[in-house]
Structure 1
């Protein structure tokens, strides 16, 4: 059974760009500190409840009409014994917070970030109920890009899957791991679905059309340029 704490972690992980764009630098630092306090609470249920309240309190600074704020109001409070967070979910969020240099965004940049997110969500995708056997065994793993829409529903871009078998394409899994798709699924999706000068095309549209090694080299080229 998923606890309210885990629902909160999923919301935070799936909406990290909007949360960052909506908070001031000081507020975002306090938010990161509150998440770290949740990890430090360990298996002390009382400490976890205090830490979760701390996270929610910091997030009161979010605009009330923003998606994260609206979804946060729907997340159950940790009032039952089933409050301890799932370790993998929590560590995934911690990695995301610590692996990305989150600069302060100007309003125009924040609006651009939201526009990019909407564009990525508009790409053909499937829900968790349509994952093949292999993907279903590890739906949140580093090998698949998992985006979360405005309703909190997980969406897996279709290009990741073989159209005949429905299973994940191995080359996509390899590149997703290179791009740290578990830590920054939006950035990984942007690489796949955006134009790529190295390939003279869109990587997602070229899967199966060009050699797998060429796609992999393009991903390595991005990493070597330090643009990731």
Structure 2
């Protein structure tokens, strides 16, 4: 057993429980619903199905990437990058307890744009409009592409996903985005691409073409699958 990763799942779930009030305040409705969906999936896994528990746990980790960088749970995720997070006997039970709490009614929230520094940061990156993305793709953009909803400017497709000089989407980006579940969690996927990664030595979006594609895929797979 990887001793560094042993018990890490329970520690993460305990930290989520400790900071559950601030998590609820830090996420917008869409992000909050996604986190609840991922916690529910973990809570419903058979505790003795280790592979299923690990995959469901990685879904929770991906959903938590929407938290601001300064949040204690997000800091824990950053510090554990590259560590195999092994589930323990209390992982599913911990998720069941958290799911029950997170299902309690929450107050009506204001739109996140303009009040969420993390989303503002991601929306400030160079991006293509929906029409520009369709032209680059020769039709409807594939669901694997990150599509960020901007209340002011409509759908935005981060530009790093496309080859320069009017090129089509990078194949490695589509592969990584499938691992990051970008079609259901675009903010979390975008946060991974634009955030520093100690494994890779920088933000993955800035390392396209500078590192072998399989290094990028491997880093994403480690997070997405825990393998």
TM-score by length of structure 1 reads 0.49
More helix by share: 1
Q: Name which structure has the greater RCO, CA cutoff 8 Å, separation 6+.
A: 2
TM-score by length of structure 2 reads 0.49
